[in-house]
């Protein structure tokens, strides 16, 4: 019967493990149910040319990044320099979703700070953002050559995220597309 | 004076939090109010989209209102949102394998508590009996 003394100790130890792990979880990062699913269908005007369309067909031409941003979003300014750098070094296109923004302000910002985007969809009403399950800019998606969303990063892009998650994934995707199309 | 002012403010509070009227049809309005009070705002996670004034919460309220207007059922609206944002948007989590513990948890804890309680009572009763016997033994 001596071991009964240990029951509370064990319970406390288990709880401590659970809570300790909880300290390092970020509840603001909600896993997206869209990872593993095809990109939602959409058709939007582009930021620079209201007459041109940006549609989900773009994501079937090969692996691509899709970055949700707005001039009103402080985190987007923070990650911008890294995006510009990535645009110069990566060999996949970075597409942008300009979310609920002012067209003029967005164009002016990209002119001043550099434009890392191959092309930018302009989502004035935020409807397409909802279809992509976006809830807080900046968000970055990695889409494979078949238009399947493979990864989503919520929040500011960092070098760590790039090195540990995005670059290895892009390598895999490139291997897949080469293997898939003989 | 101050007190009556506070009272007026307190009484005004429920109306301040009620959802704005979006529908002529009271039934649709009720569905709308009920739905937006069950959906979590992802920007400010401890608020429903009814409570939140975040941009996205307003967009989602518009979306819900629009879908009710288009004759979509509550279920269709819930599916639309969970397809995009996951079960996390639901304040009332669905009963499914990964939430069984969540739903059964209170009952399990109550059961465990009752078991411990039962054992303790029994042991006490047994101890009391034993003490009575020894007491009697000492007294005689």
Residues A107-165: pLDDT tens digits?
Answer: 999 999 999 999 999 999 999 999 999 998 899 999 999 999 999 999 999 999 999 99
B1 membership: H or E segment, kind and range = none
Residues B10-54: pLDDT tens digits?
Answer: 766 655 555 677 888 888 899 999 999 999 988 888 888 888 888
Q: How confident is the model at residue A1 (pLDDT cuts 50, 70, 90)?
A: low
CA distance B18 to B16: 6
User: Helices B26-36 & B74-85, crossing angle to 10 degrees?
Assistant: 30
Question: A81-84 long-range CB contacts below 8 Å, 24 or more apart?
Answer: A81/A113, A82/A157, A82/A158, A82/A159, A82/A162, A83/A116, A83/A117, A83/A157, A84/A113, A84/A114, A84/A115, A84/A116
CA distance B87 to A33: 9
Q: What's the pLDDT score for residue A114?
A: 93
Counted residue by residue, chain A has a size of 182
Q: What's the pLDDT score for residue B84?
A: 92
Q: What's the pLDDT score for residue B136?
A: 60
To test the contact with chain B by mutation, choose from A30, A73, A102 the residue with the greatest count of B C-beta atoms within 10 A, namely: A30
| Residue A182 confidence (pLDDT) above 50 | no
**Which residues face A122 on adjacent strands?**
A98
Average pLDDT, chain A: 91
Considering the entire predicted model, what is its pTM?
0.78
**Which residues face A141 on adjacent strands?**
A66, A152
Is A30 close to B82, i.e. CB distance below 8 A? no
Q: Is the peptide bond before A138 cis (omega within 30 degrees of 0)?
A: yes
Residues of A in contact with B84 (CB under 8 A): 33-34, 130-133
Extended strands (E) in A78-164: 94-99, 119-123, 139-143, 149-154
Residues of B in contact with A31 (CB under 8 A): 86
Q: Do B61 and B49 meet the contact criterion of CB atoms below 8 Å apart?
A: yes
At A64, list the tokens: 């691509």
Q: What's the pLDDT score for residue B138?
A: 54
Q: What's the pLDDT score for residue B133?
A: 67
Give residue A116's region: left, alpha or beta (phi > 0; psi -120 to 50): alpha
Which of A100, A27, A46 has its CA nearest to residue B60? A100
Q: Cβ neighbours of residue A130 under 8 Å, at least 6 residues apart?
A: B59, B60, B63, B84
CA distance A146 to A39: 9
Which of A13, A11, A149, A125 has its CA nearest to residue A70? A125
Is B55 close to A126, i.e. CB distance below 8 A? yes
**Which residues face A148 on adjacent strands?**
A38
Q: What is the CA radius of gyration of chain B?
A: 27
B interface with A, Cβ–Cβ < 8 A, is 42-43, 45, 55-56, 59-60, 63, 82-86, 88
Name which of A28, A33, A127 is nearest B83 (Cβ-Cβ). A33
Maximum separation of any 2 CA atoms in chain B, in Å: 89
CA distance B56 to B81: 13
Residues of A in contact with B43 (CB under 8 A): 135-136
Residues B51-102: pLDDT tens digits?
Answer: 888 888 999 999 999 999 999 999 999 999 999 998 888 988 888 888 888 8
Q: What's the pLDDT score for residue B88?
A: 87
| Residue A33 confidence (pLDDT) above 70 | yes
Is B42 close to A30, i.e. CB distance below 8 A? yes
Q: Do A125 and A45 meet the contact criterion of CB atoms below 8 Å apart?
A: no
């Amino acid at each position: 019967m001596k071991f009964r003394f240990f029951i509370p100790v064990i319970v406390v130890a288990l709880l401590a493990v659970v809570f300790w792990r909880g300290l390092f979880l970020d509840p603001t990062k909600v896993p997206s149910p869209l990872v593993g699913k095809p990109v939602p269908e959409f058709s939007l005007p582009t930021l620079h040319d209201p007459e041109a369309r940006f549609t989900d067909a773009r994501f079937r031409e090969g692996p691509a990044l899709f970055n949700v941003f707005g001039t009103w979003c402080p985190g987007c300014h923070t990650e911008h320099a890294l995006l510009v750098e990535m645009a110069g070094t990566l060999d996949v296109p970075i597409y942008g979703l300009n979310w609920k923004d002012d067209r003029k302000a967005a164009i002016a910002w990209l002119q001043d700070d550099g434009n890392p985007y191959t092309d930018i969809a302009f989502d004035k009403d935020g409807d397409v953002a909802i279809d992509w399950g976006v809830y807080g800019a900046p968000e970055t998606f990695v889409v494979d050559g078949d238009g399947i969303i493979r990864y989503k990063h919520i929040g500011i892009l960092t070098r760590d995220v790039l090195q540990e998650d995005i670059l290895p994934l892009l390598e895999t995707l490139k291997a897949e597309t080469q293997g898939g199309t003989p | 004076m101050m007190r009556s002012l506070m009272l007026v403010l307190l009484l005004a509070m429920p109306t301040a939090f009620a959802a704005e009227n979006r529908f002529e049809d009271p039934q649709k309005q009720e569905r709308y109010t009920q739905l937006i009070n069950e959906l979590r705002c992802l920007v400010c996670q401890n608020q429903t989209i009814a409570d939140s004034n975040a941009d996205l919460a307003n967009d989602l309220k518009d979306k819900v209102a629009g879908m009710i207007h288009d004759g979509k059922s509550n279920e269709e609206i819930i599916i639309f949102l969970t397809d995009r944002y996951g079960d996390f948007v639901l304040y009332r989590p669905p009963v499914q394998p990964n939430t069984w513990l969540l739903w059964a948890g209170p009952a399990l804890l109550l059961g465990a508590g009752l078991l411990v309680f039962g054992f303790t009572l029994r042991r006490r009763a047994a101890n009391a009996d034993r003490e009575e016997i020894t007491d009697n033994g000492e007294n005689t």
